[in-house]
Amino acid sequence: MDRRVVITGAGLITPLGIGIDETWSGLCAGKSGISEITRFDTSAFNTKIAGEVKGFRPEEFLPKKEAKRTQLFIAYAIAAARMALENASLKIDASNEHRIGIVTGCGLGGLSILEETSILIEKKGPRRVTPFFIPMMIGNMAAGMVSIHCGAKGPHSSVATACAAGTHAVGDAFNIIKRGAADAMLTGGVESVITPTCVAGFNSMKALSTRNDDPEKASRPFDRDRDGFVIGEGAGIVILEALEHALERGARIYAEISGYGMSGDGYHMTSPPPDGEGAARCMAAAIDDAGITYDKIDYINAHGTSTPLNDLYETRAIKSVFKEKAHSIAISSTKSMTGHLLGGAGGIETVITALTIREGIIPPTINYENPSEECDLDYVPNAARKADVEFAMSNSFGFGGTNASLVVKKYRE
């Protein structure tokens, strides 16, 4: 089988707000979700800023007792999945539960409970460790708890490919439906690791921005003065359906996923190759899978992390793939507003790409104030742009040289 796959629902939890409307309106307004970290004392840290989710109440989506013992990344996943199902008007019951599955991406899982438990063992001994520790820590529990809470019993998996995890999850779910193994999938990415260990680790790598005195200006992809990424948190879950399944139940269709590409750099633990060769092959594979030519792409939601090397090498990869058209493609990094959600990035950016197509508005790359010599493409600087987007691409690249790209297109009967 080679079925068409469409997006019929979405749920978002991001530093810009809870739900699709808050996040989308913030993106279109060029609003930053970056602020000072409130989760822990940052006085000894080089980086004191992050994209924290504000106003989220787990008990609104979970029983109060369960909410207290549920790690934040799992609660985000459950909440976003519930939003997506409601948004898609999709009900899971005994008649369809085995034909609806889930694939989520997550990079670091329950890092906060790992930190807390390590301290607890040192201070009070191993017998004080909660029996919920392992289930609260492991990254696949986001998919597991969504399955339990929403009743999806079809194909079930979790992806842990660092910052590419969310996009790999969506791509894997796309292929599951294409080959007929499921009629619908809940899929996307989730992350919540604004913790001392995470910030200290990325600081040690000199990967994070230290623009602490001006948080909203800190994430500045492709700008000459970019100095590192900003950690964000949240979840982005989409409902994918086989086209015939969506049409049969009269579902609203946001967009169609038509291509998925993967590749490996085989180059370095954390740095892409300078020519962006792996990313270029990944984008080319997605275009080939979609059955189109490179000149059809109108918009790219870039990986665009705001690190000096990533943005430069992604730009080189785009030029390699799109050749003379590279300068006429609209490109934006919405991480300039949400921060980098690591394993959750691909999930929210899939939703953003679909909304871009449906709404005819391209979100900007904010804080692009000083053009860089080689980063000289059309990054939709600082203000949203109206545009008729027929085909769009979303990129995610992760540590270990793992790459993922999706091609999303406007749905036509």
Q: Catalytic site residues?
A: 163, 303, 340
Give the containing element (helix H, strand E) for 396: strand 391-398
Closest among 88, 89, 66 to 78, alpha carbons compared: 66
Strand partners, 397: 403
Closest among 10, 8, 6 to 412, alpha carbons compared: 6
Concatenate the DSSP letters of all residues of 113-150 into one string.
HHHHHHHHHHHH-GGG--TTHHHHH-TTHHHHHHHHHH
CA 385 → CA 24, 324, 331, 365, 411, distances in Å? 13, 22, 11, 11, 21
Residues near 41 by Cβ (< 8 Å), separated by ≥ 6? none
Alpha-carbon distance of 188 to 258, in angstroms, equals 16
CA 413 → CA 122, 244, 390, 410, distances in Å? 61, 11, 14, 10
CB 334 within 8 A of CB 219: no
